Structure 1
Amino acid sequence: MFKTIKKDLPASIVVFFVALPLCLGIALASGAPLFSGLIAGIVGGIVVGALSGSNIGVSGPAAGLAAIVLTAIGALGGYQNFLVAVVLGGVIQLLFGVLRAGIIGYYFPSSVIKGMLTGIGIIIILKQIPHFFGYDADPEGDFAFFQVDGENTFSDLFRTLKFITPGSAIIGIVGLAILILWEKVLSKKAKIFQLIQGPLVVVVVGIVFYILTQSNETLSIAKTHLVSVPVPEDSASFFAQFSFPNFSAITNPDIWVVAFTIALVASLETLLCVEATDKLDPHKNVTPTNRELLAQGTGNIISGLIGGLPITQVIVRSSANIQSGGVSKMSAIIHGFFLLISVIVIPTLLNMIPLSVLAAILLLVGYKLAKPSTFKQMFSLGWKQWVPFTATILGIVFVDLLWGIGLGLGVGIVVILIKSFQNSHFLHIEDKSNGKHRIKMTLAEEVTFFNKGAILKELDSLPRDTYLELDVTKTRYLDNDIIEILEDFAFKATERNIDIQLISERGTVENPESFIDFFKLRPKTA
């Protein structure tokens, strides 16, 4: 891992600047103490990063859990009671890992995963535009369509036009210009521009701009438009920011319900992120999903024990890591140490960073996830890929991440059923002689009850006086429902003067008396 430090260190700095506002914003959107988001980010980086089998995945507090956390804190009677649910959720995740539930992650269609990445890219762009122009009513990390400030994604964009902060907007535009220049031009000129990442330069420029314009009425940036890390007065007040679970509430059944919900949602988000980051990874590493669940479970136990929010692997931080050239888990671990050291040593300096500068960094991350070329590529693959891809994006943008994934998966299943209906058999007329149609129907390799409608429709549409060749030579699985349809058809065929020739590996049978008896020789197989 240390062999790649030249690439991982610059990437970890970028991930740090992406993670910092998100940790604070998600805590604010969750109704939890701000420091709880930082704890989750630190544990997600150091602990989960060290235990995970992913080279490029980065974990921390997840926007997808914010609504669950917000509701649970009130319902369970306080934050310390909620922390019990976080710890128990981690234990349940460990159980998921032991039971090898990580295999679920492999069953999400590629179109849905690509839709998830693109949808997250779009929602990052839409959510960061207000912060980019200095309108910070909605906290960073609130990625749901209906926001905690009472607005929605698009109404917030319109309100931004009325509340543009000149200083924030200017440094945001300057920062974005520097990022683009750094990536497109400077990084190709000299190695120094590859070692020093553009986001670090942009953050330094943002701090300098804030300091120089403090006395300027037009360009000064108010504290409400800056990063807001808790600043302890001394070591005692620093440690006072940690919260601890109230384990006396463990007998409350509601806590167990919340714990299972956290474990289920956090595991699902993690597995989806793992699948997505593996697709983005230029080295195409495959993350062991069961080990990832064990790592996430351990992280949630530790985070809950010291007052942190629930943790998942997060696509925004992970994609920023990949885009910045991170190649090993050292990037995630180092970013966790950066979070830890910075909140202890330089919280005052962090609180001079304009949110619009960090928004500029996230805008670039979002664009790389939702490039126009991705839409073009998915459209060229045909409607079977395009429809689930689009459905996933719409669900993410207009509801939230989990709804988007669920919608995309549901549409994907419908597409599979439609294609299964269409491809259950092949039908063509060979010739017409002696007053009879000669038709050959070839059944597919696997025929299940999903194909009942298609096969039944074709059999019923056969005209009288037909000679039907039914070829099951290549069929390896034949559902009993289909056998029963063939049995019923054989009875009707005599009334319609339809002769049947059954072609199989065992030979040819003319007008079989019983399909059931024939296929019983090899149950559900032909």
Structure 2
Amino acid sequence: MALPLCLGIALASGAPLFSGLIAGIIGGIVVGSISDSAHGVSGPAAGLAVIILDALERMDSFEIFLLAVIIGGVIQIILGLARSGVIGYFFPSTVIKGMLSGIGIIIILKQIPHAFGFDKEWMGSDSFIQVDGENTFTLIWKLLLGHITPGAVIVAAISLMILLLWELYLTKKYSIFKLIQGPIVVVAASICCQLILKSYFPQYTIGAEHMVSVPVAGSISSFFSQFSFPDFSQLGNKDVYFLGATIAIVASLETLLCVEATDKLDPHKRVTSTNRELFAQGTGNIISGLIGGLPITQVIVRSSANIHADSRTKLSTILHGVFLLICVALIPGVLNLIPLSALACILIMVGYKLSKPSLFIQIYKLGWDQFLPFIVTILGIVFVDLLVGLGLGCGVGAAVVLIRNYKNSHFLHIETSNGEKQTRITLAEDVNFLNKGAIIKELSRIPGKTCVTIDMSKSNSIDYDVREVIEDFIKTAEDRDINVKLKLPLVEKNSREEIYSKKLDKWVLALPIKDKL
């Protein structure tokens, strides 16, 4: 799976195809060795493709761009040492789950054309709008209008049947089939199917444009000639530093989000050190830039495939990089026999596992405050791209928190004693300026000739804005014939807790008593 995705992202970035393979190899071997993530797989990411394409158009050469990749890696190492990885923990759980489901849906939609042999868009794309102005749905519509390759459909059908048979029956009934993963069988079967079609049914032969396309080196020297090296003479170019910082920020953000999502998918619920991950990514980007590779991030598609393949440790990540290196160096001709339609079916299965309907039902049952950020994140990812979807989801999540905070500032209890209305307003543990509006609204609705107790005994902290609201209410309470009583928290001898004194018309140091008129 890493092979066509590395090639596709390099193609979309306008970079040499081999640079994508380098990034995949370094992401597996180097980043996998340093990181403590049990399942995270790193390599070139679709989210950086547009940034790379724009940079290569502005830079004079690919070698200058490689220098920016190295600088980005240095910045990531600094971020890791500065313990900036904590940023990843501030994303709501439902947004992360929405990200996983959104990626799953976009994988399915993007791979449908490839499964039918319509490879107009590069493998690994995750943006709704394409460079040529088409979008995810218009591409599927064009496919249905007659851009179907029969040979690709035959391979896709066989591949899908094998995957379903493996997933639903064989692995559940016979333990031996757990040792051999369905996707490996699909790749082998698709190569055999292509050779059979080519020999006996030439009219259904799949063209080279619908196959994996690894650069083939004729000799050892030509293989090593595909590596590029950075132009260090541009160290004084400020544009290189700006690009390096951009790569570092975007790559770090995508990595931290992927780490959070991968940890949620981990059946053993292990927690990855995000600071160490940033250090690992930075090291990987430095090495990738030094030998001609694209920028690296941790990527959810390959990481989730790693988990669904029942991996146990990070050795699977390292070995994937080793196998990628061996295959690219020794048997590129064999890799070029793999139809893209077979790989598309493998990805479609991964996408389904990420976005199962049962997850939607589960989140929906948790209530609107959980479901709304979840569904908004999905819609943003499907109809725009990953970062926009996450931004929208977090925005909605923050709005939900503000609404909840607004409502939970206090509790109101009204009772009648000896014909007199008794109103008690109990403030929450922590009351801040966000609660000011709700408290103003509540106090303004208290009718005249009422005894009001404002209970602050359970409050740990009360923001100045709220204290000012209470102060204004006390000042005007007598005019409305409202008797106000403040119930204060027990305070220590040296406490700096203050209360409002109507007599002095200011806030003064509280006395160590429970109730005060």
Aligned partner of 1:304 in structure 2 is: 289
Q: Is the 8 A contact 1:427 1:442 kept in 2?
A: yes
Partner amino acid, structure 2, of 1:50: S
Structure 2 runs not aligned, ≥5 long = 492-498
Which secondary structure does the structure 1 equivalent of 2:39 belong to? Answer: coil
1:144 to 100, 109, 127: 127
Residues 1:79 and 2:62 aligned together:
yes
Aligned partner of 1:19 in structure 2 is: 2
**More deviation in 409-418 or 489-498?**
489-498
Aligned partner of 1:12 in structure 2 is: none
Aligned partner of 1:372 in structure 2 is: 357
- Deviation of residue 460 (structure 1)? 1.3
- Deviation of residue 244 (structure 1)? 1.0
TM-score, structure 1 as length reference: 0.93
- Deviation of residue 173 (structure 1)? 1.3
- Deviation of residue 511 (structure 1)? 8.2
Measure the CA separation in 2 of the matches of 1:466 and 1:514: 24
- Deviation of residue 148 (structure 1)? 2.9
Partner amino acid, structure 2, of 1:453: G
Which secondary structure does the structure 2 equivalent of 1:218 belong to? Answer: helix
Q: 5 Å matches for 1:93-492?
A: 93-161=76-144, 162-214=146-198, 216-431=201-416, 433-434=418-419, 436-492=420-476
Measure the CA separation in 2 of the matches of 1:386 and 1:513: 50
**More deviation in 493-502 or 342-351?**
493-502
Measure the CA separation in 1 of the matches of 2:421 and 2:156: 74
- Give the paired residue count: 504
1:55 to 38, 42, 45: 38
Q: Is the 8 A contact 2:501 2:507 kept in 1?
A: no
Measure the CA separation in 2 of the matches of 1:91 and 1:71: 22
Over 3 Å counting, the alpha-carbon distance change for 1:234 and 1:149 in structure 2 is: farther
Over 3 Å counting, the alpha-carbon distance change for 1:139 and 1:113 in structure 2 is: same
Partner amino acid, structure 2, of 1:373: S
- Deviation of residue 514 (structure 1)? 6.2
Measure the CA separation in 2 of the matches of 1:498 and 1:511: 16
**More deviation in 254-263 or 368-377?**
254-263
Measure the CA separation in 2 of the matches of 1:101 and 1:85: 21
Q: Is the 8 A contact 2:500 2:508 kept in 1?
A: no
TM-score, structure 2 as length reference: 0.95
Q: Is the 8 A contact 1:484 1:516 kept in 2?
A: no
Aligned partner of 1:14 in structure 2 is: none
Q: Is the 8 A contact 2:25 2:43 kept in 1?
A: yes
Measure the CA separation in 1 of the matches of 2:105 and 2:511: 56
Over 3 Å counting, the alpha-carbon distance change for 1:468 and 1:513 in structure 2 is: farther
Measure the CA separation in 1 of the matches of 2:292 and 2:85: 27
Q: Deviations over 1:142-197 (max 9, x none)?
A: 11111234311111111111211111011111101101101211113333311111
Measure the CA separation in 1 of the matches of 2:231 and 2:422: 78
Measure the CA separation in 1 of the matches of 2:66 and 2:501: 70
Partner amino acid, structure 2, of 1:517: W
Which secondary structure does the structure 1 equivalent of 2:203 belong to? Answer: coil
Q: Is the 8 A contact 2:501 2:508 kept in 1?
A: no
Aligned partner of 1:15 in structure 2 is: none
Over 3 Å counting, the alpha-carbon distance change for 1:283 and 1:30 in structure 2 is: same
Please give the root-mean-square deviation of Cα atoms over the aligned residues, in Å. Answer: 1.7
Over 3 Å counting, the alpha-carbon distance change for 1:164 and 1:502 in structure 2 is: same
Q: Is the 8 A contact 1:500 1:512 kept in 2?
A: no
Q: Deviations over 1:218-245 (max 9, x none)?
A: 3110000000000011111111111111
Residues 1:506 and 2:509 aligned together:
no
Identity of aligned residues (%): 59
Measure the CA separation in 1 of the matches of 2:156 and 2:13: 26
